[in-house]
Amino acid sequence: MTLADFIVTNAPALLVAIPLFAAFTSPAVGKISTAARNLWVMGAMLLTAAVAFILAFRVFSTGTVIYVFGAAATTLAVPLDSGGIPIRIIFTVDAMSAFMEIICAIVGTSVLLYSLSSESKNTSLEGYYALFLLMITGVFGMVSTGDFFNFFVFLEILSLASAGLIAYRIDGGLAVEAALKYFVLSTLGAILVLFAIGIYYGQYNALNIAMIAQRMQFTMLDKIALVLLIAALAMKCGAVPMHFWTPDAYSMAPSSVTAFLVVASQASLYGLFRILFTFYNVTLNCVTVGWIIIILGILSMVVGVTMAIPQKDVKRLIAYCAISQTGYMLLGVGVGLAVLGNAALSNAFGFVAMEGGIFHIFNDAVFKGLLFLTAGAIFYRIGTCDLNKMGGLGHNMKYTMIFFIIGALATAGIPPFNGFASKLMIYESVYLFNPILAIIAMVVSILTLAVFVKVFHSIFMGPQLPEYADVKEAPLPMLIGMGILAAIVILFGLFPQLVVNGLVAPAAHALTNQGGYISSVLGGA
Amino acid sequence: MLWNLPFITVVVLTFIGIVTVLLKKNLIKILLGINILESAVNLFLVSLGYREGGVAPIFTLAPSELMVLPTPQALTLTSIVIGVATSALVLSFAMVLHKKYGTVDIDKIRRLKE
């Protein structure tokens, strides 16, 4: 067996194994020299991204890939002597998981490249890189696993690593305070998830997602488990009214970490959608639960953007906008869920709404990542995030300014950027479902634009301030990291149809197709 | 009734844990509340795995008949390990906060603006 075959066969395992190995070895490599560690960490990240792309290509061309740990063959989900129960740990990578993996690979690579120079002035970098790679492990694990207990384990790896990184800059205790808030909440969330796992295991004797989905009865206990899971995961993805940790954590973490925290929140969003569509699907009371998700989405959109307006700290402001963008994803997928049981409505607009919501996950990860990275570049050069102290930076930081414009306009949903493409899909389909919701969504977009016009003006416009006269442009690795994301924002905005047909539609199909997920693991059925 | 005792204990422990997390102001006590909640979940998992008269899956000693599936015990072990990591992290946060703020009272740890 050649190396290429080995990588293709074991891609799902390598996706978690490479960053995990690199995370724990990077402090040792760092003892040799800083350059060696940077090379080691970046190499591991590029390798992981390459494996993720190979795997995603395989999933999009041939369908769901399963990987069984420790079995005679990696595709042998149900051992012959187990009585039809998939007893081993399984990674099930369907189109939706592959979609999330592409996001994580792209954002992870550009953020790591960015942090090579943005964090270079700081001390105890060995911890930074180890924790960052653990975050990557956590996200990849959460989106690929086909075993619900493993989902909990990766969720905890992700929260522990994220909390460590949020507190990383200490900042007179402020960052630790933010990290504490985040970590106590996510631990409580994780305990709720574990309770739900116990409830499923007690009823169905299974931890495998496909097995639980197949046996799902929607009893009273399942309803309790559903409530626990929605509460925990909606909190983890920062939906209003459980968003209190988001602005603190996003603003106190180093910008590079914040850009990846957006992806981490979206991994929780993925978990939420996976539970709703793969565990329950039509056994659920789709209309009620769909409306709960829609209301969470609308609340997040409105509260997020109105809280963004008075903010004085640029990262806090972007964090509130991130909450409002999460609302769009919840709205789109919620509408898709609300009409899931009705084939006519689903075909008319429900499916397009889901595609819009899922497409927006990708777009949000890219443009919010870009905005946080530009905020980080500004902080790197002038040492403050306070909007009142900034001004006239457009004279010195031209590229950063261009990247900020791209990110801000994409967030507000202005063509030709990618935010427009996904928001248009959401507006059109949600309008058919309920016009008021679509109008709220548009008004929120306009407010977002207003917020960013104000921010843009106070950061970059105006005369050059004397104290910033000799501010230089951000260093090259940071510009490349931002450039990758900006290029994707523009490309996806110019060719949305390609992306929708190639990536988003298969992902949305995979998410709604519960039977396909079950049969890919358990066979037949 | 008697075999429901573990589950009743789970409910009581959960209640105590949640009340502690919500009402206590001392960071260390909040951590204790989280630990109690974790114990409640662990007890829940272990109780789910208990089978009356079941054979423990230890191959050297067991008679050759059906054995209990050890999955819940494995889950509990994993969850205990994660709990240790959680406690360590929260305690180290408490240390840093005590050093910087001089208190572990969460009402006084409020320097982040709203």
Residue B92: which CATH number?
1.10.287.3510
> Domain extents for chain A?
285-494
Measured between alpha carbons, how far is residue B2 from residues A5, A198, B39, B40 in Å? 57, 21, 20, 18
Tell me whether A178 touches chain B (CB under 8 Å): yes
Report CB contact under 8 Å: A180, B27: yes
Report CB contact under 8 Å: B45, A198: yes
Reply yes or no: is the peptide bond before residue A241 cis, omega within 30 of 0. yes
Which of B48, B82, B97 lies nearest to residue A177, judging by beta carbons? B97
Would B78 be classed as within a structural domain?
A: yes
User: What mean pLDDT is predicted for residues B69-74?
Assistant: 86
- A284 falls in which pLDDT band (50, 70, 90)? confident
Would B61 be classed as within a structural domain?
A: no
Percent of chain A with pLDDT over 90: 68
Percent of chain A with pLDDT over 70: 99
Tell which of B10, B35, B76, B93 to mutate to test the A interface (max A CBs under 10 Å). Answer: B93
Q: Please give the mean pLDDT across all residues of chain A.
A: 91
Please give the pLDDT value at position A257: 93
| Look-up of token digits 């009409």 | A339
Helix axes B27-49, A174-204, angle to 10 degrees: 20
C-alpha to C-alpha distance for A139 and A263, rounded to whole angstroms = 8
Nearest-by-CA chain B residue for A192:
B41
Q: Is the confidence at residue A525, as pLDDT, over 70?
A: no
Interface of A with B in 121-140 (CB under 8 A): none
Q: Is the confidence at residue A411, as pLDDT, over 60?
A: yes
| Look-up of token digits 């490249």 | A113
C-alpha to C-alpha distance for A335 and A226, rounded to whole angstroms = 18
Tell me whether B38 touches chain A (CB under 8 Å): yes
Would B89 be classed as within a structural domain?
A: yes
- B62 falls in which pLDDT band (50, 70, 90)? low
User: What mean pLDDT is predicted for residues A130-134?
Assistant: 95
Q: Is the confidence at residue A524, as pLDDT, over 60?
A: no
Tell me whether B45 touches chain A (CB under 8 Å): yes
Tokens of A117: 């120079």
Tell me whether A187 touches chain B (CB under 8 Å): yes
- B64 falls in which pLDDT band (50, 70, 90)? low
Q: Please give the mean pLDDT across all residues of chain B.
A: 88
Q: Are A156 and B81 in contact (CB under 8 A)?
A: no
Q: Is the confidence at residue A63, as pLDDT, over 50?
A: yes
Report CB contact under 8 Å: B45, A194: yes
Tell me whether B37 touches chain A (CB under 8 Å): yes
Q: Which residue has the higher pLDDT, A221 or A281?
A: A221
Please give the pLDDT value at position A482: 94
In DSSP terms, A93 is beta-bridged to A65
Would B114 be classed as within a structural domain?
A: no
Task: Tell me phi and psi for residue A110, to 5 degrees.
Answer: -70, -35
Report CB contact under 8 Å: A176, B93: yes
Provide the total of helices (H) and of strands (E) in chain A, helices listed first: 22, 2
Q: Which residue has the higher pLDDT, B84 or B70?
A: B84
Residues of B whose CB is below 8 A from A187: 34, 86, 90
Q: Are A294 and A338 in contact (CB under 8 A)?
A: yes
Give the single-character DSSP code of A504. I
Report CB contact under 8 Å: B41, A179: no
Please give the pLDDT value at position B63: 67
- The helix (run of H) or strand (run of E) holding residue A93 is strand A90-93
Report CB contact under 8 Å: B111, A183: no
Q: What angle do CA A353, A358, A362 make, to 5 degrees?
A: 140
Helix (H, G, I), strand (E, B) or coil at A427: helix
Tell which of A159, A165, A176 to mutate to test the B interface (max B CBs under 10 Å). Answer: A176
Helix (H, G, I), strand (E, B) or coil at A68: strand
Which of B48, B112, B113 lies nearest to residue A198, judging by beta carbons? B48
| Look-up of token digits 């059906």 | B66
Would B43 be classed as within a structural domain?
A: yes
Range(s) of the domain holding residue B96: 2-49+67-101
pTM over 0.90: yes
Report CB contact under 8 Å: B79, A202: no
Structural domain count, chain B: 1
Which of B44, B72, B93 lies nearest to residue A167, judging by beta carbons? B93
Q: Which of A1-5, B53-57, B104-108 has the lowest mean pLDDT?
A: B53-57
Helix (H, G, I), strand (E, B) or coil at A485: helix
- B98 falls in which pLDDT band (50, 70, 90)? very high
Helix (H, G, I), strand (E, B) or coil at A465: coil
Please give the pLDDT value at position A114: 93
Residues 6+ apart with CB under 8 A from A462: A391, A392
Residues of A whose CB is below 8 A from B71: 201, 207
Measured between alpha carbons, how far is residue A278 from residues A139, A237, A249, A274, A510 in Å? 19, 19, 31, 5, 9
